[in-house]
């Protein structure tokens, strides 16, 4: 039912869209099955989470040293940013890619690829992760850091205190 994965400009960051089958009763979308991600992550997915965000919420930028994320958008539309931090110490700035996600879309985010989103309207995002949450691998950098130069479409997002207080990119990377 789901389409195949397609590459992005960042190695290992993959996207796909799923078919949404709708009729008078509602709709059906197959989000995930194990064979969709066989061989794509270094470990199996072990935890599922649901994140709901209102319009103009920005979450990010987050990254993990030991975890792959699989995002699947259930409702709403989001502007997503991913930044490749692998080997960034040798580069002047990370490779950044932005795109929109719509209901049924999925993105696979490998270790050391920072990720965040701006909810263009209320959204529901399911995400699978390859590590159970324990807080030791939750890293981040400032959403508006000029070294990342992410082209967000918002100047004053709604954010958590944690995300608003994230350090500059270089400071976050120096702590690794």
Q: Provide the annotated active-site residues.
A: 62, 127
Distance spanning both ends of the chain, measured CA to CA = 40
CA neighbours closer than 13 Å in the CB half-sphere of residue 119: 20
Measuring CA to CA, which residue among 161, 134, 131, 158 is closest to residue 56? Answer: 158
For residue 100, how many other CB atoms are within 10 A of its CB? 14
Both structure tokens of 91: 């580069």
Contacts of 47 (CB under 8 A, 6+ apart): 128, 129, 131, 132, 133
Provide the phi-psi class of 3: left if phi over 0, else alpha when psi is between -120 and 50, else beta: beta
- Cα 6 from chain centroid (whole Å): 16
């Amino acid at each position: 039912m789901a389409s195949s994965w397609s590459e992005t400009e960042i190695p290992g960051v993959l996207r796909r869209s799923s078919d949404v089958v709708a009729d008078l009763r509602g709709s059906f979308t197959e989000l995930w099955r194990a064979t969709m991600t066989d061989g794509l992550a270094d470990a199996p997915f072990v935890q599922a989470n649901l994140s709901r965000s209102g319009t103009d919420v920005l979450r990010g930028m987050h990254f993990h040293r030991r975890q792959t994320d699989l995002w699947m958008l259930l409702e709403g539309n989001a502007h997503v940013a991913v930044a490749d931090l692998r080997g960034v110490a040798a580069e002047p700035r990370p490779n950044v890619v932005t795109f929109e996600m719509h209901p049924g879309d999925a993105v696979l985010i490998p270790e050391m690829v920072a990720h965040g989103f701006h909810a263009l309207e209320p959204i529901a995002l399911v995400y699978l992760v390859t590590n159970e949450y324990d807080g030791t691998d939750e890293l981040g950098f400032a959403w508006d850091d000029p070294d990342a130069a992410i082209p967000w479409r918002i100047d004053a997002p709604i954010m958590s205190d944690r995300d608003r207080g994230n350090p500059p990119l270089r400071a976050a990377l120096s702590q690794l």
